[in-house]
Structure 1
Amino acid sequence: MAHRAAQQPQQPQQQRRYDRQLRIWGDAGQSALRAASLCAISATAAAAEAIKNLVLPAIGALTLVDGTDLRQLPPTAHFFLSSPQRPHNRAHALVAALHALNSDVRTSFIPHHAHEFIDSVSAAYAFVLRFSLVLVADMPASHTLVRFLSQAAFRANVPLVLLRCHGMIGYLRVQAPTLCVLNARQDDLPPDLCIHAPFSHLQALADATDLNAISDTTQLTHVPFVIILTKALQLFRAQNDQKLPASPQQNKLFENIVRSLRPSHCPADALNFEEALKRSNLRLCYSQVNHIPPSVQAVLSHPNADPRTSTAFSVQLESPNHHHVFPQIVHYTKPRPAAHRIAEQQARFWLIAAAVNMFVNEAGRLPVRGSLPDMTADTESYLNLQRIYSEKAHKDAKRVLHFVHAIVDERGLDLDVDDALVISFCTNVHAIRVHSTSSISDELDDWNVDAFKEAAMLEGGLDPSGTGKASPYYPILRAVDLFHRANGRYPGSDTVVKDNDIALMHGYVATVKEQLGLQSNTGLWRHETEEMVRYANTELHNVAAFMGGIAAQEITKILTQQFVPLDNTLIVNMAEQSSITFAA
């Protein structure tokens, strides 16, 4: 079996330059970002804002696709392209501007419209294989090109992000068939202290601590609460057939045992005993303690995490059916399809998850994380306790690594695994997730009406008397797309027939309301519909900057495999500072 060396830490110069982001997603997240290759189709202001927020933290490679001639646009249409010396092609001009922000990023562009060379799902599939993620800006979801890209990206498991700004309304749609999250960065995770099932070194430390024999009150008040609870639980189990507290009465009995451990010469306000009696810490000792969180259990019980039958450990990437000729990418061509790297990432994720499954079957618990919360303790006691937990975490991770090797050898897999990745996986095992969304193409034909209506009802968007909501603009955007498909332009773009556009839009909105079962509510969303016509698909730069920032944040989550991304649709009403998310 081949093993990769552990990821090299960032060089000192890069550490200084990217210090703040490294504090958020660490070396592993930065390495993942630098290995990513992004394609942005249509270099609008919103796309430029999103890309700017990815270029600054040093995404690996960027390819812009846009055939727009800037001489056909007003000079104020794009904040990044205000220089009179700019190239005529919009993709070329934006690449030049972005390259000046961070020369570490490999930038390139295709000076053609994407629909000129992506004319089928097959062509779209061959194209998206080159990239880690595809961003499409200012294009109706019903556009034929978006359908092609959606179906192809879903098949290739390449994330696709759709970004639109329509006047004061922002729209973001994330499509990710399967996204393996290595660290959800969940702040409310309970500490993993193993008090309910202490490992040998922890139990030995508790046994060696005789609270009554400690005469120094300062030393006594600095015994970590972990030791106090471990000793108390040992006494409770001895009196209750080795069982954990399982009822309110037993919980109360256990609390009394904790109180009884306080020696008579210990101050009544000793913080360590107060910590031991905190509800959040007592719950770590009860029978209801959740050894494996449901979100983690969902990963481990997934068929892909079965060490015997899973087919997800090998890189499975379908080759394009036909050879497609694309315009030359100017400046840079990535030699290896980026989608292959995504497939490798997911294969490693499921391989380690299967190894964790084997560990759980053997040990009856997840690997110890090895981190300690803040607690009242002297430095020596805290460091000693930290050492015990760290050694146990390292031992558990080595056992998981052993199972990884065993699966690879038994299945004859051609997959290299970084030892540091296994250790990181075990450290963050309580925060692993598998995230998936529906296809944009499927949404167009059969959208999740119930999910929308539930979200809209909670926001008050189904009340005809209510205004200032965001939810009405999702069905109105669908109506806008119907208008665009029928007329080849956006409503309100021709001021001569603006009143006629309003009447037509009310008709299209009525069609969408019929899909929602709201056709009888004729007064619903009339004001919002007329506002949408007034916007005339104008891209306002403050809205573009806000939505571009959100899009960049979601893309960063996906590329670094950290934090949980949007599921899956966001609508923002900037005029009223309201927003709504739901799974479309």
Structure 2
Amino acid sequence: MSSPAPPKSPELSDKSKKYDRQIRLWGDHGQAFLEAATICLVNVTAVGCEAAKGLILPGIGGFTVADGSTVKEEDLGNNYLGKSKALACKQLLQELNTDVNGDYVDESVDYILANRPNFFDSFDLVIASNLNEQSLLQLANRLWESNVPLVYCRSLGMLGSIRLQLKEHCIVEAHPDNRQFDLRLEQPFHALREHLEATEVTSKMPWLVVLYKFIKIWQKEQEDGRLAPSNYKEKTNLREAIRAEMKKDEENYEEAMKAVNTSFGAGLVPSSLKAIFEDDACEQLHKKSDIFWIMAKALKHFVVEENKGYLPLPGVLPDMTASTDSYITLQHIYRQQALHDADQVYHKCQHYLKQLSLPADSIDERTVRLLCREAAGMFVLRGTRIADEYEKNCRLLPLVEENELQGTLTVYNFALRAYERFLSECGSIPGECAVEQDIGRLKSITSKMLNDLGLHATISDDVLHEICRYGGAELHAVSAFIGGCAAQEVIKIITKQYKPIDNTFIYNAISTESVTLKL
């Protein structure tokens, strides 16, 4: 979780210019995580190459292609006939970005797992695509044991899917869509209260000063001691009180009225963060604890023991109409309090590191400040093994509402799995040669698979016909879409920013529909 230092040298400054647009999304620290990461691409397919392309262009640190096959005539659109697929893929991908280190191994996933299974342990993440069932389960189980994230992609005809296998993924910067500014107007900290009390309300003052004056009046009128309005009627009354005192052309009064809905209630511990505080990983630290949990425990101590149940102040102000001096003064007050709160959390982190006999530089001040700023949105995702989906499992039962799986994208999850089992059992692609014969074999395999799962359901013949009709073909448009989505999820995992899908994404290009399932 510790963020690498921001780039300072002229060379890295040029690199920052190259990646300017994406750095605006995930910051210098997110880019540094990306540039320090290495991934493995298992199985050279159109969807796998598209996923890798989506990581190489933004500057992933390095990639290794693992595939034991050679280029055949049907591959000629993208590779070189007779050459190692892994080598050809590596050469073409590396041309996209010379900053990225590329490598390859002429070995299939089955050979690697059988002869040197530790090969995958050195990667930050593995991307695999279009494997047969046996190979998929062996790879997924090995990566689960090694705690290496797996992103498994499928692209077949007009269908596509992504499955994320993550043991535990801790997110500090979730980037919520509706971020609420934490202003503490209803219960200001000491420095803010002193400033607001001493400031005269004029048309040049920020709207925070206006709103504070009116919320104070509102609080005095409440017999139950409430600090802020909580329903529509109360907020409307507060807005009307502000309007009644407003003179012409007072933009700060207008802004104060607009801010009534969003200016109160932040700073308290949300349910998602409360769950983190109550997690065993937070309560019971040990030498192998991820630093996320050490910081989470320090944060909890600050909130509960030192800050009366309030989170550290983020110290971020919204834009507002005001004189430059008044806005900068207010901004300084918030920033200083944010630094003070973060400093308290940082010192507690150091205390825990010392208790655990861990190096003091395991957690730096910059990382703690980031955590304190983003505390309200912290999130922990705990995933499930892919192998669990192949056993009798109650999680699958809610997906099957009718005896026949139809009219829902869920059916394609099972149809694609039946395709993979066909590959394992028959050693060939359904529909590649004998479509009619393979339809019967696929139907039999599907029926047995669903029965083994304890699902009393069937997949319609139309869907199975569709699977066989594709004959294992990948359509580039579908593969490009799924590969792009997969690359996006990989970036979320590596940068530890934004929430990844949890945990299966299915796409039907015919209807342009998609669904996310938790399996």
Query: Where does residue 315 of structure 1 map in the other structure?
Result: 288
Residue 325 of structure 2 aligns to which amino acid in structure 1?
E
**Equivalent residue for 1:227, pick from 186, 209, 220:** 209
Query: Where does residue 583 of structure 1 map in the other structure?
Result: 518
| Alpha carbons of structure 1 residues 209 and 254: separation in structure 2 relative to 1, 3 Å | farther
Residue 130 of structure 1 aligns to which amino acid in structure 2?
S
Q: CA deviation at 1:263?
A: 7.8
CA contact (8 A) 1:63 1:110 kept: yes
Query: Where does residue 334 of structure 1 map in the other structure?
Result: none
| Pair 1:133 & 2:125 matched | yes
Query: Where does residue 356 of structure 1 map in the other structure?
Result: 299
| Alpha carbons of structure 1 residues 32 and 285: separation in structure 2 relative to 1, 3 Å | closer
Residue 295 of structure 1 aligns to which amino acid in structure 2?
S
> How far apart, in 2, do the equivalents of 1:423 and 1:52 lie?
33
Q: CA deviation at 1:55?
A: 0.9
CA contact (8 A) 2:243 2:257 kept: no
Q: CA deviation at 1:102?
A: 1.4
CA contact (8 A) 1:198 1:230 kept: no
Backbone CA RMSD of aligned residues: 2.8
Q: CA deviation at 1:252?
A: 5.2
| Alpha carbons of structure 1 residues 173 and 252: separation in structure 2 relative to 1, 3 Å | closer
> How far apart, in 2, do the equivalents of 1:377 and 1:226 lie?
10
Identity %: 30
Query: Where does residue 119 of structure 1 map in the other structure?
Result: 114
Query: Where does residue 255 of structure 2 map in the other structure?
Result: 275
| Pair 1:474 & 2:431 matched | no
Q: Give SS of 1:376's match.
A: coil
CA contact (8 A) 2:235 2:260 kept: no
Q: CA deviation at 1:152?
A: 2.4
- Superposed counterparts of 1:457-496, under 5 Å: 464=406, 466=407, 469-495=408-434
- Superposed counterparts of 1:101-500, under 5 Å: 101-119=96-114, 123-124=116-117, 126-140=118-132, 142-143=133-134, 145-211=135-201, 220-240=202-222, 243-245=225-227, 256=237, 259-260=240-241, 266-267=246-247, 270-278=250-258, 281-282=260-261, 284-285=263-264, 291-306=268-283, 309-311=284-286, 314-315=287-288, 347-361=290-304, 362-363=306-307, 364-414=309-359, 416-447=362-393, 448-453=395-400, 464=406, 466=407, 469-495=408-434, 498-500=435-437
Query: Where does residue 60 of structure 1 map in the other structure?
Result: 61
1:225-248 residue CA offsets vs partner (Å, 9 max, x unmatched):
322332333334445468225787
Q: CA deviation at 1:260?
A: 4.6
| Pair 1:541 & 2:476 matched | yes
Query: Where does residue 487 of structure 2 map in the other structure?
Result: 552
Runs of 4+ off more than 6 Å: 246-249
Residue 348 of structure 1 aligns to which amino acid in structure 2?
I
**Equivalent residue for 1:93, pick from 84, 88, 92:** 88
Q: CA deviation at 1:414?
A: 3.4
| Alpha carbons of structure 1 residues 188 and 283: separation in structure 2 relative to 1, 3 Å | closer
> How far apart, in 2, do the equivalents of 1:242 and 1:206 lie?
24
| Alpha carbons of structure 1 residues 259 and 388: separation in structure 2 relative to 1, 3 Å | farther
> How far apart, in 2, do the equivalents of 1:6 and 1:229 lie?
39
Residue 414 of structure 2 aligns to which amino acid in structure 1?
P
TM-score, length basis structure 2: 0.90
Q: CA deviation at 1:512?
A: 4.6
Question: Which moved further from structure 2: 51-60 or 294-303?
Answer: 294-303
TM-score, length basis structure 1: 0.81
Residue 105 of structure 2 aligns to which amino acid in structure 1?
I
| Alpha carbons of structure 1 residues 370 and 394: separation in structure 2 relative to 1, 3 Å | same
Residue 127 of structure 2 aligns to which amino acid in structure 1?
L
| Alpha carbons of structure 1 residues 281 and 67: separation in structure 2 relative to 1, 3 Å | same
Q: Give SS of 2:260's match.
A: helix
Query: Where does residue 326 of structure 1 map in the other structure?
Result: none
Q: CA deviation at 1:453?
A: 3.5
CA contact (8 A) 2:3 2:367 kept: no
- Superposed counterparts of 1:489-528, under 5 Å: 489-495=428-434, 498-514=435-451, 515=453, 517-519=455-457, 525-528=460-463
1:288-333 residue CA offsets vs partner (Å, 9 max, x unmatched):
x671122222222222223xx322xx337xxxxxxxxxxxxxxxxx
Q: CA deviation at 1:528?
A: 1.4
Q: CA deviation at 1:38?
A: 0.5
> How far apart, in 2, do the equivalents of 1:577 and 1:256 lie?
46
CA contact (8 A) 1:7 1:420 kept: no
| Alpha carbons of structure 1 residues 255 and 244: separation in structure 2 relative to 1, 3 Å | farther
> How far apart, in 2, do the equivalents of 1:225 and 1:78 lie?
64
| Pair 1:80 & 2:78 matched | yes
1:78-115 residue CA offsets vs partner (Å, 9 max, x unmatched):
6432x56xx71011111111222212111111111121
Q: CA deviation at 1:128?
A: 2.4
Q: CA deviation at 1:509?
A: 3.2
> How far apart, in 2, do the equivalents of 1:475 and 1:556 lie?
27
Query: Where does residue 337 of structure 1 map in the other structure?
Result: none
1:250-283 residue CA offsets vs partner (Å, 9 max, x unmatched):
x85676566556785x4267443343334x6346
CA contact (8 A) 1:232 1:254 kept: no
Q: CA deviation at 1:132?
A: 0.4
Residue 488 of structure 1 aligns to which amino acid in structure 2?
G
> How far apart, in 1, do the equivalents of 2:224 and 2:332 lie?
28
The gaps in structure 2 that reach 5 residues or longer are none
| Alpha carbons of structure 1 residues 348 and 41: separation in structure 2 relative to 1, 3 Å | same
Aligned length: 511
| Alpha carbons of structure 1 residues 243 and 542: separation in structure 2 relative to 1, 3 Å | same
> How far apart, in 2, do the equivalents of 1:284 and 1:451 lie?
40
CA contact (8 A) 1:63 1:109 kept: yes
> How far apart, in 1, do the equivalents of 2:182 and 2:75 lie?
53
Q: Give SS of 1:544's match.
A: helix
1:322-378 residue CA offsets vs partner (Å, 9 max, x unmatched):
xxxxxxxxxxxxxxxxxxxxxxxxx22111111111110210211111111233333
Q: Give SS of 1:59's match.
A: coil
Q: CA deviation at 1:473?
A: 0.8
